[in-house]
């Protein structure tokens, strides 16, 4: 179950990304049907995992067939990825000491939430934070990163003017501790394991 404060965190992050998207205008190419960022596994927090599970439960109520398809895709992905999972394949917790293995793990794997026919996310409202902030320029320890499809031909100044300004890290950390406690699991996982728990 998602901690109560998650709705506020999502609101803060979504507002910051919407502001960056407005500033980016035509430089930002993200749109329904663009699925480049939906391929390849990535680490998610237990807070993200709880949000995804709640989203899947809500989808089950409104569209059981779509929810069943997501569950099937997640189970199939888990089966494909289990043998080389860089962590505890039973729990789905990634091993931080195997980060180098994770770099090349599942790079061609479609996200289980992706319905490839229309190119849309079946759990869009419940998507992880990584998905929420992808596209507009985001500052990381490696610098200012953007999707390779966006800001093609833009100057460094143009990219910097569109940077996402997030102000929720402390809130997210606290909520993740709460989510880990509720789940009885600590550490990051991936979407396929989050949806098959």
Give the tens place of pLDDT for each residue, 117-143: 999 999 999 999 999 999 899 888 888
Residue 35's pLDDT band (cuts 50, 70, 90)? very high
Residue 80's pLDDT band (cuts 50, 70, 90)? very high
* Mean pLDDT, rounded, for 40-64: 97
Q: What percent of the chain has pLDDT over 90?
A: 85
The pTM score is 0.94
Of 191, 157, 195, the C-alpha closest to 85 is 191
pLDDT tens digits for range 4-20: 999 999 999 999 999 99
Contacts of 47 (CB under 8 A, 6+ apart): 2, 3, 6, 129, 172, 175, 176, 178, 179
**Mean pLDDT lowest for which of 73-87, 131-145, 148-162, 180-194?**
131-145
Model pLDDT, residue 1: 85
CB 155 within 8 A of CB 15: no
Model pLDDT, residue 190: 97
Please give the C-alpha separations between residue 107 and each of 21, 67, 70, 72, in angstroms, as whole numbers: 27, 24, 19, 20
Check whether 146 has a pLDDT greater than 90: no
């Amino acid at each position: 179950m998602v901690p109560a404060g998650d709705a506020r965190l999502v609101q803060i992050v979504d507002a910051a990304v919407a502001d960056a998207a407005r500033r980016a205008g035509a430089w930002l190419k993200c749109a329904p049907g663009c699925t480049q960022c939906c391929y390849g596994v990535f680490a998610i927090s237990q807070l993200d995992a709880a949000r995804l599970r709640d989203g899947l439960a809500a989808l089950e109520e409104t569209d059981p067939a779509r929810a069943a398809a997501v569950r099937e895709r997640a189970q199939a992905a888990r089966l494909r990825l289990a043998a080389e999972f860089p962590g505890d394949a039973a729990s789905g917790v990634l091993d931080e000491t195997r980060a180098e293995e994770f770099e090349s793990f599942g790079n061609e794997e479609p996200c289980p939430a992706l319905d490839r026919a229309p190119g849309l996310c079946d759990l869009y409202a419940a998507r992880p934070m990584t998905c929420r902030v992808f596209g507009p320029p985001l500052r990381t320890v490696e610098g200012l990163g953007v999707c390779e499809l966006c800001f093609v031909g833009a100057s460094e100044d143009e990219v910097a003017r569109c940077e996402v300004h997030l102000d929720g890290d402390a809130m997210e950390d606290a909520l993740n501790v709460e989510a880990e406690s509720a789940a009885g699991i600590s550490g990051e996982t991936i979407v396929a394991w989050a949806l098959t728990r």
